[in-house]
C-alpha cells in the first residue's frame, strides 16, 4: 500500500504574500482524503499551516498520520521553519493525532454570542487611545505579546518575527486604523488601569455574519486581581454591539489558566485549538 499526496488544485498566492495548495490523500492512486498546506510570512520567516485534514475512507489505518507527515515535507520544501494546525474542538481524533506527531497545544480560540450591552462598574471609564499615546501603548502591547509567544513555546527569533509582523499587518495606520477600537480603562483621577485592542470585523462566520476579535486585553501590573480584565471584556462587548457586531472571539494562550477561567465565566466557548511544532 502506497500513500501519497496528489495536487487537487493549482498552488495560489495568499493575500499576505504566502502560498497555499489543496492536496488529495491517495492510497495506490485512489483518493481517500484531503488537506491544505499554507505558507504564511512572519517577518522574514515562513510559518506553515496544515488545515482541512480529513480522511473519508479507511479511517484508523494511519492514512491521516502519513498525510500529515507528507504535508510537513511540503512545508519544509517551501522554506517553513515551523508548522501549526488549527483543529476544531469537536475533532478529538485529530487532536490525538497532533499529539502523537509531536505537536503541542499553543492557543485556544473562543467565541461568544452577544445578547445585550453589559453594564460597567462604577468608578471606571473607557476612552480612545489617541495618536499621541499610541507609540507608548504599542511598545507595551508588543512586549506583552512577545512574552506570551515565548511562553507558548516559540523560540526568541520566531516570537520576535511574529510580534513585529502581526502588529504591522493589523495596525497599518496606527491609532487611526479603520475597524479598530483602542481603549484605555481609567479609574478615579484618570489613573490608567488597563487597555483594550479590538478588531471590530476581523473575519466572518460561516453564515457571513461579522466577527469581532479581541486582540489585546492588558491590565496594569499594579491593578491586577481587581476585576479590571472582566471590565475590559465588557467594554469590548459594548463596542461590538455599538458597531452592529453580535459575535466576539479571541485567542488565549493555553498556559494562561487565569485568562481561560475568566473567559469561560463570561460565557465564551472553545471552538478551535492551535497545535504547533518546529520543522527541523
Dump pLDDT digits (tens) for 22-34. Answer: 999 999 889 999 9
Residue range 4-10: average pLDDT? 94
pLDDT of residue 1: 66
**Residue-range domain boundaries for the chain:** 3-80, 112-273
Dump pLDDT digits (tens) for 41-70. Answer: 887 889 999 999 999 887 778 899 999 999
Top pLDDT among 18 and 57 is at 18
- CB 39 within 8 Å of CB 75: yes
- CB 266 within 8 Å of CB 230: yes
pLDDT-wise least confident of 77-81, 108-112, 208-212:
208-212
Dump pLDDT digits (tens) for 214-273. Answer: 999 999 889 999 999 999 999 999 999 999 999 999 999 999 999 999 999 999 999 999
Q: Which of 24, 25, 22, 26 is nearest to 37 (CA)?
A: 22
The domain defined by 112-273 folds into Aminopeptidase (3.40.630)
Query: What residue spans of 187-254 are helical by DSSP H?
Result: 228-242
Amino acid at each position: 500500500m502506497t500513500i501519497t499526496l496528489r495536487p487537487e488544485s493549482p498552488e495560489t498566492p495568499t493575500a499576505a504574500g504566502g502560498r497555499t495548495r489543496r492536496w488529495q490523500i491517495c492510497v495506490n492512486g485512489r483518493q481517500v482524503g484531503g488537506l491544505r498546506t499554507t505558507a504564511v510570512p512572519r517577518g522574514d520567516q515562513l510559518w506553515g499551516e496544515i488545515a482541512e485534514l480529513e480522511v473519508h475512507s479507511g479511517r484508523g489505518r494511519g492514512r491521516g498520520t502519513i498525510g500529515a507527515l507528507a504535508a510537513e515535507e511540503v512545508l519544509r520544501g517551501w522554506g517553513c521553519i515551523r508548522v501549526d494546525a488549527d483543529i476544531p474542538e469537536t475533532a478529538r481524533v485529530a487532536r490525538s493525532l497532533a499529539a502523537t506527531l509531536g505537536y503541542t497545544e499553543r492557543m485556544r480560540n473562543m467565541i461568544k454570542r452577544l445578547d445585550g450591552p453589559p453594564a460597567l462598574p462604577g468608578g471606571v471609564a473607557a476612552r480612545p487611545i489617541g495618536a499621541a499615546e499610541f507609540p507608548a501603548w504599542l511598545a507595551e502591547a508588543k512586549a506583552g505579546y512577545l512574552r506570551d509567544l515565548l511562553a507558548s513555546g516559540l523560540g526568541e527569533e520566531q516570537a520576535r518575527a511574529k510580534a513585529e509582523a502581526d502588529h504591522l499587518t493589523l495596525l497599518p495606520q496606527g491609532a487611526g486604523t479603520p475597524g479598530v477600537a483602542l481603549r484605555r480603562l481609567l479609574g478615579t483621577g484618570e489613573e490608567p488601569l488597563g487597555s483594550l485592542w479590538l478588531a471590530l470585523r476581523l473575519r466572518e462566520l460561516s453564515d457571513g455574519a461579522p466577527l469581532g476579535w479581541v486582540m489585546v486585553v492588558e491590565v496594569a501590573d499594579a491593578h491586577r486581581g481587581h476585576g479590571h480584565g472582566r471590565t475590559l471584556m465588557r467594554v469590548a462587548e459594548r463596542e461590538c454591539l455599538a458597531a452592529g457586531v453580535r459575535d466576539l472571539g479571541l485567542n488565549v494562550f493555553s498556559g494562561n489558566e487565569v485568562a481561560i477561567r475568566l473567559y469561560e465565566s463570561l460565557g465564551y466557548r472553545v471552538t478551535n485549538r492551535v497545535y504547533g511544532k518546529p520543522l527541523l
